[in-house]
Every structure is written in C-alpha cells, then in structure tokens.
Amino acid sequence: MDVRIVEVEREDSPAYRFEAPAHEGETFVNPEDAELYADIYFDVNGFEEVGTGERGVPPVIIQAGRDTLAAYFLTHDTIDEHWVGSFMGVQPGKVLRYASRVQDRAGDIRERVRTGEFDR
C-alpha cells in the first residue's frame, strides 16, 4: 500500500508524519499515534480526510465499526481513552481493547501482504 511514517525534525522535538498515496498526510507528536493511524489505514483499506473538516470523521471510519472509530479518536492528541469511553459509553479499558483489535487486524493484513497471500 506504499504507506510510511517519516520522522520530521522540528525545533522543539521531532514529529511523525503518516504518508500514503492519495492521502494528504497527517502529522503526529508521538510515534505511537502515527502507528495507530497507519493501522487504521490498513484496517479500512485506506481513507482520505480531505473535506471532513477539523472535527469530522471520514465516513469509512464510521462504517468500519466501534473499534475502528475508537482507535481513530485515540490518534488525536487532545483525546484519550477516558474521553472516548465517555463518548461511547464504555470503560477506558474497553477503548484500549478496541484499539488493540484494530492493531491486530492491521498486523495480519501487513503480514499477508508481505508473504504474498494478499494482493496489494
């Protein structure tokens, strides 16, 4: 899928930029958020955020289910598992399990692509 995370040097601290074809890119303060964002990208077979606005969520993220939506929210630096749990009406631990499921699925997809079991 030609997806990558690039470390970007800044004056105060490095940032991490997610890059993919047909995606305008997204920059994160910590590498874990960038990796989770990439996992979400793999989980839904790609998405574009152009036109969703500052607070919008891409429709494919919403259609993918609660776990993907929870993981997507967690990639925003002002949102944590407590906020997502309150929004979704679940405990923070469940939010982290949702994100873990997305990471597991994305890891499986990457492995299948790497071994040739999955067409790019």
Residue 34 lies in a domain: yes
Count of domains observed in the chain = 1
Residue 120 lies in a domain: no
Residue 67 lies in a domain: yes
- For the entire predicted model, the pTM comes to 0.82
Question: How far is Cα 43 from Cα 80, in angstroms, rounded to an integer?
Answer: 20
86: left (phi over 0), alpha (psi -120 to 50) or beta: alpha
**Domain, as residue range, for 23:** 4-114
Per-residue pLDDT of 60-93, as tens digits, reads: 999 999 999 999 999 998 999 999 999 999 999 9
Q: What is the predicted pLDDT for the residue at 53?
A: 66
φ and ψ of 100, to 5 deg: -65, -40
> Cβ(43)–Cβ(60) under 8 Å?
no
